[in-house]
Structure 1
Amino acid sequence: MKGQCFTVDFLTKKRKVNEGEVPQYYVEHSHEPIITPEEFDKVQTELARRKRISRQYSGKSIFSSRIVCGDCGSYFGSKVWNSTSKYRRVIWQCNGKFKGEHKCETPYLDEETIKARFVTALNAIIESKDNILEDCRLMQATLTDCTGIDTEIESLLEEIEAVTELTKRCIAENSQTAQNQEEYAARYNGFVERYEKAKARLEQLRTTKAAREAQAEAIGAFMFEMQELDTINEFDEKLWLTIIDTVTVHADGRMTFKFQGGTEIEA
């Protein structure tokens, strides 16, 4: 590691930038963390969620990339009305509302409406939270049981190792003894095809496992918050970010809140 300063002369206190002359070490748990491990895990889960939705994500607001148009499937985006006057107002509407020939019929929403409906939906599930938590436990157990995936991953790793060794031997034999080059190319390409096929399947399984683990973690965060909750009277930003998956807005003004545990409530 380079970049940090160190003392050259302890008498004069002369210092210089460390360019590799002095080794640096990382000591785990030597400082108090800036955020708690639980908060760190939530951040990682949120980053994974943003990665899944890729370019559609905008981090300007807690409502970004969570409110979905029930008409066309686009996310809702914010728009400022009367931005230069005292009547300035932020509203949310479908980003695809005026795109293409079909005009979405979902209404716009102001932030106070979103917050009030969230409070209503959350209080509705709190009333039956014991049943919901039990469902969440079963779902989490299913998601975290990756026995089948792990077995196939292990098999694929063995296949990749075996094919790699066979490919090396194939190349070595061709360099040491005269061979029919068409036959050699066919054998070599066959090994490459097997390798690429196994590698692609391995990446697919790892992605699937990571997605399941992320979903299980999100459900766990939802359960943790739900266990401590009683009736709430006002909007809580932390709760919104922790327990809401998506909110679907319908043309008739209904809003369907989908929570991380999979429970859906209309408000």
Structure 2
Amino acid sequence: MLYVLTQANEKYMGDALLQKTYTVDFLSKKRVKNQGIVPQYYIEDNHEAIIPRELFYRAQEEKARRAAIYRPSTEKKSKTEKSKYSSKYSLSDIMVCGECGQPYRRQTWSKYGQKSAVWRCDNRLKNGTKNCKHSPTLKEQPLYEAIMTAINSVVENQGEFVGAFRENVIRVIGSYSTRHIPSEYDEQIEKLQGEMLTLIEENAKQGSVNENSDEQYHNIAERIRDLKLKKLKLTQENRLAETFSQRINDVDHCLKDSTCTVGGYDDELVRRLLQSVKVISEDKIEIQFKSGIVMQQRVAYDE
């Protein structure tokens, strides 16, 4: 199932894209990737799905998010590097340094035979104070307590939390959910593909490609590409609307499943509710919830 979720194949959600490839030589049966030469047809609910459509979209969104995590390199060899995604700790992917923007990572310190967990800026760990001078080290337990205090403050007022989330979703997706993909896109694309095939057949009969035909071919290909991009944009916006609507329900269910107050640190709850945690100072963090709510929370240390 993990393999299925990480693949961008429409067949897993019951759809089918026809003519991804086409035959260029019927004698040798050679097939090549379809780059807009012949029409493609997308069929929804073509067969029984392996996974629900909503889960497939959300898995692809998460896959794209993880793949897009780039950060300035903390080494001299390259200007940028792709960060490693770690799902072991919920804070590994969302907590960043307020000074340099680099991720924080968990470390275990050992002193006098006793071990304690802390969180430190990855940039400072690799390069010292040269690139990040003032990033603090946060003890794990007070950090966890601060985060749970913030979560409890919104869990106690579920209506305001979910209401703010709904308002942000509506503002982000606008009227996406009411937009329909015009059939004219497919009609225009099919017409242009027909013109392209006619042009190719004429050149094949002549046995050569003149400069004018070559220019016509590229013009048609560019128009097809533009139409496909416009259609793709509308499709993505519709899917975005579906995804955000599902997120509203997820957050709503998450809060309803939670008790009035949450006790100890809940890793799963943090994953589901928090968007990011920014370290401002040794005793202050800024928490952004997936609802759009942003709040600063004090990190208290025992005297």
**TM-score under structure 2 normalisation?**
0.63
CA distance in 2, matches of 1:149, 1:227: 32
Shift of 1:67: 0.5
Aligned residues between the structures = 232
Q: Residue 140 of structure 1 contacts residue 220 of structure 1 at CA under 8 Å; is this kept in 2?
A: no
Q: Which moved more, 1:184-193 or 1:55-64?
A: 55-64
Q: Residue 67 of structure 1 contacts residue 246 of structure 1 at CA under 8 Å; is this kept in 2?
A: yes
Could you tell me which runs of 5 or more consecutive residues in structure 2 were left unpaired when the two chains were aligned.
Answer: 1-46, 71-81, 298-303
Matched with 1:92 is 119
Residue 66 (structure 1) aligned with residue 94 (structure 2): yes
Q: Residue 86 of structure 2 contacts residue 93 of structure 2 at CA under 8 Å; is this kept in 1?
A: yes
**TM-score under structure 1 normalisation?**
0.70
Matched with 2:103 is 75
Residue 162 (structure 1) aligned with residue 186 (structure 2): no
Q: Secondary structure at the match of 2:295?
A: strand
Q: Residue 89 of structure 2 contacts residue 267 of structure 2 at CA under 8 Å; is this kept in 1?
A: no
Q: Residue 285 of structure 2 contacts residue 296 of structure 2 at CA under 8 Å; is this kept in 1?
A: yes
Query: Deviation string for 1:27-67 (max 9, x for gaps)?
Result: 989xxx9xxx8xx6898365554344374222232221110
Query: Deviation string for 1:194-235 (max 9, x for gaps)?
Result: 233334455555555555544443343222222344122222
Residue 119 of structure 1 aligns with an amino acid whose one-letter code is: M
Matched with 2:213 is 184
Shift of 1:188: 0.8
CA distance in 1, matches of 2:178, 2:231: 13
- Residue among 121, 127, 132 paired with 1:103: 132
CA distance in 1, matches of 2:266, 2:69: 24
Q: Residue 177 of structure 2 contacts residue 242 of structure 2 at CA under 8 Å; is this kept in 1?
A: no
Q: Residue 94 of structure 1 contacts residue 104 of structure 1 at CA under 8 Å; is this kept in 2?
A: no
Residue 74 of structure 1 aligns with an amino acid whose one-letter code is: Q
Q: Could you say if the C-alpha distance between residues 103 and 219 of structure 1 is closer, same or farther in structure 2, counting changes exceeding 3 Å? A: same
Q: Residue 107 of structure 1 contacts residue 253 of structure 1 at CA under 8 Å; is this kept in 2?
A: no
Let me know the Cα RMSD of the aligned residues. 3.6
Q: Could you say if the C-alpha distance between residues 180 and 201 of structure 1 is closer, same or farther in structure 2, counting changes exceeding 3 Å? A: same
Q: Residue 276 of structure 2 contacts residue 288 of structure 2 at CA under 8 Å; is this kept in 1?
A: yes
Shift of 1:193: 2.0
Residue 238 (structure 1) aligned with residue 268 (structure 2): yes
CA distance in 1, matches of 2:68, 2:245: 16
Q: Residue 76 of structure 1 contacts residue 93 of structure 1 at CA under 8 Å; is this kept in 2?
A: yes
Q: Which moved more, 1:218-227 or 1:240-249?
A: 218-227
CA distance in 2, matches of 1:183, 1:151: 34
Residue 53 (structure 1) aligned with residue 82 (structure 2): no
CA distance in 2, matches of 1:42, 1:91: 36
Shift of 1:180: 7.4
Q: Residue 125 of structure 1 contacts residue 265 of structure 1 at CA under 8 Å; is this kept in 2?
A: no
Could you tell me which runs of 5 or more consecutive residues in structure 1 were left unpaired when the two chains were aligned.
Answer: 1-25
CA distance in 2, matches of 1:110, 1:162: 64
CA distance in 2, matches of 1:212, 1:147: 6
Rg larger in 1 or in 2? 1
CA distance in 2, matches of 1:42, 1:183: 43
CA distance in 2, matches of 1:211, 1:43: 9
Matched with 1:17 is none
CA distance in 1, matches of 2:238, 2:48: 31
Residue 103 of structure 2 aligns with an amino acid whose one-letter code is: Y
Kindly, what percent of the aligned residue pairs are identical? 20
CA distance in 1, matches of 2:68, 2:249: 19
Residue 221 (structure 1) aligned with residue 231 (structure 2): no
Q: Which moved more, 1:90-99 or 1:182-191?
A: 90-99
Matched with 1:126 is 155
CA distance in 2, matches of 1:223, 1:104: 41
Shift of 1:144: 8.0
Shift of 1:89: 2.7
